[in-house]
Amino acid sequence: MKRLLTIVALSSSLTLGLNAEASTATTAPSAQTINQSANVINLAGKQRMLTQKMSKEVLMVAKGINADANAKALQKTVALFDKTLKGLISGDTTLNLPATTDKDILAQLKVVSDLWTPFKASIEKADLATVASTNIALLKNMNKAVGMFAKASGSKLDPKMAKTINLAGKQRMLTQKMTKELLLIANGIDVEANTANIKKTASLFETTLNDLIANCKKENIKTQLQVVSKLWADYAPIVKNADTSAQALKKANEANIPLLKNMNKAVKMYEASAK
């Protein structure tokens, strides 16, 4: 745990650097192109995933699973969430994010920011109980912001495409949420509730993936979704059975990131197809 505190504490200095970067970056114009609208929905949606990824990573370290690598990954995840949140609010040309001008969305992002500050502190302190009890509030409020961004895209982006990017993006989050739930069980935190939760998360991921494949009209994206499907078939038994054996946890550590990366590749393909 001392290792986690030492490495994650570095994120504070890194965040200061990101603050400087965000403040000096030229803000993109408020009028968004179709591609910018798709990118905003994509990156806002990715924030949902990051809430679960960092929760998973702190739990991995606490369980001693590839602790050094997961602690370093956690540092990067914290920094990326912080940078993207600031970019969604004020704009960030390095992320192709225009500043948000919608007052309602800005108010919702303020809610997210207010939740993020204490959550980040609990991550840095490796306060597992607080991470476990507060990560869902951060996730839900970020999800609300994503829905608002998708709705606000209006005529700039086909509503069906906005919805699809949102749903596909949510799949990235579910890969991390189910892994987080597995690690909560492994760490003995709310075991009964998280055993029920992981089954629901796995079911939702599987149902949504099947729907995305069935309704996909672009062969290249469908092929990528089928790659995700094969990876999921390999990982699914562990999460569906809430298997926390040493062997299963090792496989979970190895399997969840390829699943995430390939789902993320599909999301980017949807984004690129938005014209």
Backbone conformation region of residue 216, classed left if phi is above 0, alpha if psi is from -120 to 50, else beta: beta
pLDDT number for residue 171: 95
pLDDT number for residue 31: 52
pLDDT number for residue 220: 97
* Interval 166-197: pLDDT, tens: 899 999 999 999 999 999 999 999 999 999 99
- Contacts of residue 153, Cβ cutoff 8 Å, sequence gap at least 6: 32, 37, 38, 40, 41, 159, 162
- Contacts of residue 84, Cβ cutoff 8 Å, sequence gap at least 6: 43, 46, 47, 50, 92, 95, 97
Helices 103-124 + 34-62 axis angle, to 10? 20
> Model-level pTM?
0.85
pLDDT number for residue 253: 96
| Backbone φ and ψ of 131, nearest 5° | -60, -45
Name the burial class of residue 44, with classes exposed (0-12), middle (13-18) and buried (19+) by CB atoms within 10 angstroms of its CB.
buried
Domain ranges, ordered by start, for the chain: 2-273
CB atoms within 10 A of CB 96: 16
pLDDT number for residue 15: 37
CA distance 132 to 185: 11
10-residue averages of pLDDT along the chain (275 residues): 45 37 36 77 93 98 96 98 98 94 97 98 96 97 93 73 88 97 97 97 98 96 98 98 97 97 95 80
